[in-house]
Amino acid sequence: MASGGCRYTYDEYKETADWLLAHCRIHPKIAVICGSGLGGLAELLSDRIVFPYQQIPHFPQSTVSGHAGRLVFGELGGKQCVCMQGRFHFYEGYPINKVTFPIRVFHLMGIEALIVTNAAGGLNEQFNVGDIMFIRDHINMPGFGGQNPLCGSNEERFGPRFPCMSDAYDGTFRQMAVNSAVELGYQDFVREGVYCMLAGPSYETIAESRMLKILGADAVGMSTVPEVVLARHCGMRVFGISLITNKVVTEYGSPEKANHEEVLQTAKVRAEALQTLVSNLVGRMD
C-alpha cells in the first residue's frame, strides 16, 4: 500500500476488482452492504457464488458478531447483485481506507448503485424499536475530526477533489422504496430521517445523545457514512436503510442500557420484512 492519505494505490483496487471479475461469471450493477444481524439479505440471492473475505486479494476481515465476512454474488429481484455479508468498522481497529476499501473495488467492477443497511439506535421520540428508517441525510461526526476517506491526495480516476454531498442519498431511490413499502403494507413501521455516525465501539452517553438530537439526528450508529462518502465520490447512486434496533437512552436514572445482543435480536425479528423490502426495491431499479 502507498503511504500518505490514499493508503491503497489505484492498481491495488484494480487488482482486487480484476480478480473478482475473473472468478465470477456474474457482473452486477447493484451492491448491497449488510449491517449487523442483516446478513440474511445475501441468503435471498439465487444462483449464489460466495467468496470468503480471506480469499479475496487485499480484502480486510470482519471481526464482529453478526457479520459473516463473505462476498455473495447472485440474483435478487430479477437483478444481478453483490452483497457484502459483513462490513468493516473503525472500532475494529481499521483505518478509514480499509473500512471503505470495497467501495472503490465495486466501482471498478462496474457497480452503479449502492444500498447500505445498518442497525441503529433511535433518537427520534416518534420512532419505535423495529422501525425501518430510510436515510434522507447523514451527520458525519468522525469527519468533523478529520476522519474522512477522501483525506490525502485525490485519485482523479475515482472522482473530483471536492465532491458534493448535499445529494448523498438518491431521492428517486427513496421514493421507490416508499412505494415498495406501501405496496407491501409496511407503511406503519417505515420512517425517513437523518442518520448520525459515531466511531464507537462504546455507546453514546446521555449528554452525547441529547446533543445529537439537537443537531437533528433521528438515529445513531457506528458505520455507513464512510462508505457513502466514497460511493458518491465514485459517482454511485446511494440508498440507505437504518433498522431501529433500540431506543437511545436520553434520561438520567433510566434502567435501559444499550447492548449488542439486543441489536442482533431486533434485527432477527424484523429481518424478513427488511429483506422483502430491499428485494422489491432492487426489482424496481433500472
**Catalytic member of 217, 222, 231, 273:** 222
Cβ count within 10 A of residue 258: 17
Does residue 260 carry a catalytic annotation? Answer: yes
**Catalytic member of 118, 180, 209, 246:** 246
**Catalytic member of 223, 242, 279, 280:** 223
Does residue 89 carry a catalytic annotation? Answer: yes
**Catalytic member of 13, 31, 67, 138:** 67
Burial per residue of 72-86, b for 16 or more beta-carbon CB atoms within 10 angstroms, e otherwise: bbbbbbebbbbbbbb
Cell numbers describing residue 181: 413499502
**Catalytic member of 17, 42, 113, 119:** 119
Q: Collapse the DSSP code of 231 into the 3-class scheme (helix H, G, I; strand E, B; otherwise coil) and give the result.
A: helix
- In whole angstroms, what separates CA 169 from the centre of its chain? 12
Does residue 217 carry a catalytic annotation? Answer: no
Does residue 67 carry a catalytic annotation? Answer: yes
Strands 237-247 and 70-76, bridge-based pairing: unpaired
d(CA 123, CA 27): 39
Does residue 91 carry a catalytic annotation? Answer: yes
Whether the CB-CB separation of 197 and 222 falls below 8 Å is answered with yes
**Catalytic member of 92, 155, 208, 262:** 92
Does residue 92 carry a catalytic annotation? Answer: yes
**Catalytic member of 8, 17, 36, 62:** 36
d(CA 92, CA 258): 19
Does residue 27 carry a catalytic annotation? Answer: no
Residue 119's closest CA among 231, 238, 263? Answer: 263
Q: Collapse the DSSP code of 86 into the 3-class scheme (helix H, G, I; strand E, B; otherwise coil) and give the result.
A: coil
**Catalytic member of 12, 192, 208, 260:** 260
**Catalytic member of 89, 107, 138, 233:** 89
Residues serving a catalytic function are: 36, 67, 89, 91-92, 119, 222-223, 246, 260
